[in-house]
Structure 1
Amino acid sequence: MSADGVGASDGEGASDGSDRPVRVAITGATGRMGGELRELSADRDDVAIVLAVARSGADIDDEIEDAADLPSLLAERDPDVLVDFTGPESSVEYVAACAEAGVPVVVGTTGFSEEQEAALEDASQSVALLKAANFSRGIAGLRRAVREAVSALPGYDIEVTETHHNGKRDAPSGTANTVLDDIEAERETTGRVHGREGDQPRETGEIGVHARRAGDVTGEHEVLLAGNHEVLSLTHRAGSRGVFAAGALDAAVWLAGREVGRYDFSDVIGGSHER
């Protein structure tokens, strides 16, 4: 489902036209992104955190409650939207609770299986659901540039490399997989080759994919196109997780009050709708 003519959040509150702050619930509140969301929301007038939950046993404080109680807490606190950056299994559970409670949900979790993706799709039949692998406006620009470059440079070899901190679980990253999907939508390929070892000359039509995990790198994605004695490299680097938190809160403000259906971050920033 697309929403014609709607751009990025302008800080004027919910999409229902009111000027009140959007009431936001956060899962994974003790995690990296949960902390960023809580910190950033304190500096914004268009959102108010009314519920923050984490798994039992996490290093929680008086402002964070047990995620096991989420269904009852959603009814009690009545948030306008929930933002989830956790893990695939817990995310599916939280989204199901939101679908039952009628609470729109923004999903930034990645690494879902096909079965879990189907569960999210089912939930979007009951509530507005916005799922994105990346909430950076720069990544949105990168994706557009990649699609144009791939279309303009037929036959050029393509390599995609992503680098993240040493604690990231899924590889390649969700963003890298989204970029790879964009490439494959523009060009017929023979498949993805993950890393190279031994005798592996490049085959025509393949896409090389490389995932690196090191230190505290927030996120870096590079798409390299080479051919005709020239190289084009398109790169995005995120300097802080605050970039993603800001985009996720923009998405939450935008999604609150939307009709039931499936949305993407491109809808928030006024681009074409893509799942």
Structure 2
Amino acid sequence: MKIGLIGFGKTGKSVASILLENKKFSLEWVLRQSNVLEHRSVPEFFGIQSEEPGLIYSSTHTSVEELLDKHPVDVIIDFSSSKGIYTYGETAANYKVKIISAISHYKEKELKLLKKLADKTTVFWSPNITLGVNFLLFAAKFLKKIAPSVDIEVNEEHFKAKEGTSGTAVKIAEALDVDKENINVVRAGGIVGKHEVIFGFPFQTVRLIHESISREAFGNGVIFVAENIKEKEKGLYNFEDILTPYFTV
């Protein structure tokens, strides 16, 4: 499966390294805003040998249309910013390239655009694309269904510079009918990401915890999603759509 990657920040780099390790995928190119590293290859950047081209381009000099004409891909993976979708979205949809977006926060305008793009191609969006945190969400929803009156607290911890409440925590809160204002937020040091759901029963407590040890976890999530949407028809999908079949007995 040929991959184009949008964004090459800390998480984008980690995802690229995981893609290079997986022989089922070929990282064709990376598109980023910065001119730094332009025309260098990702394998070269990591100092590893690879037959994958993985050339780095800057959006100031190269358009997505040019890239798709010269270096076609099956899937575009977005780890840039909430505005990145405007750089590649319409073009990818017109070329019938599948889209995997791992952007934490989208406003209503961007969400409407995702739905519009899904009329032409397969679009997947998750504010947290790690597999483990979505397992946590599934388990939490099952517990809430069993005990709808249980007391629930949602905690999230991230690195000092992360702004706002994490999109994952908001999604968990919405799924469990917890007021978003009641999410407990911690920002300290270099914490990659931790989410906890506390269920307060009489005389006992259940805690579901997911902790990202490194950003490579996002790469593993991307691979899982890409493999599970490759046969999907056009439409807008989320983790629940691709995980539900695994829970069918």
Q: Does TM, normalized by the shorter one, top 0.5?
A: yes
Letter of the 1:173 counterpart: S
Gaps of 5+ in 2: 42-55
Equivalents in 2 of 1:163, 1:271: separation in Å? Answer: 31
Equivalents in 2 of 1:42, 1:181: separation in Å? Answer: 35
User: 1:106 maps to what in 2?
Assistant: 100
Where relative contact order (Cα < 8 A, 6+ residues apart) is larger, the structure is 1
Provide closer, same or farther for how the CA distance between residues 250 and 231 of structure 1 changes in structure 2, counting only shifts above 3 A: closer
Say yes or no: does 1:246 pair with 2:238.
Answer: no
Say yes or no: does 1:62 pair with 2:19.
Answer: no
Gaps of 5+ in 1: 1-21, 185-190, 195-207
**TM superposition shift of 1:270:** 5.0
Q: Which has the higher helix share?
A: 2
Q: Give CA deviations for 1:120-166 in whole Å, capped at 9, x if unaligned.
A: 11111111001112222222221121112222233332211111112
**TM superposition shift of 1:243:** 1.2
User: 2:53 maps to what in 1?
Assistant: none
Q: Give CA deviations for 1:205-263 in whole Å, capped at 9, x if unaligned.
A: xxx21222222211110111224233222111111111111111232233335321112
The TM-score normalised by the length of structure 2 is 0.84
Give the one of 71, 77, 81 matched to 1:87: 81
Give the one of 206, 210, 222 matched to 1:232: 206
Provide closer, same or farther for how the CA distance between residues 259 and 152 of structure 1 changes in structure 2, counting only shifts above 3 A: closer
Which region of structure 1 is more displaced relative to structure 2, 224-233 or 211-220? 224-233
Equivalents in 2 of 1:167, 1:100: separation in Å? Answer: 36
Letter of the 2:220 counterpart: A
* Alignment RMSD: 2.1
* Percent of residue pairs identical: 22
Letter of the 2:18 counterpart: L
Give the one of 169, 172, 177 matched to 2:170: 177
Say yes or no: does 1:27 pair with 2:21.
Answer: no
User: 1:160 maps to what in 2?
Assistant: 154
The TM-score normalised by the length of structure 1 is 0.77
**TM superposition shift of 1:103:** 1.1
User: 1:137 maps to what in 2?
Assistant: 131
Provide closer, same or farther for how the CA distance between residues 192 and 37 of structure 1 changes in structure 2, counting only shifts above 3 A: same
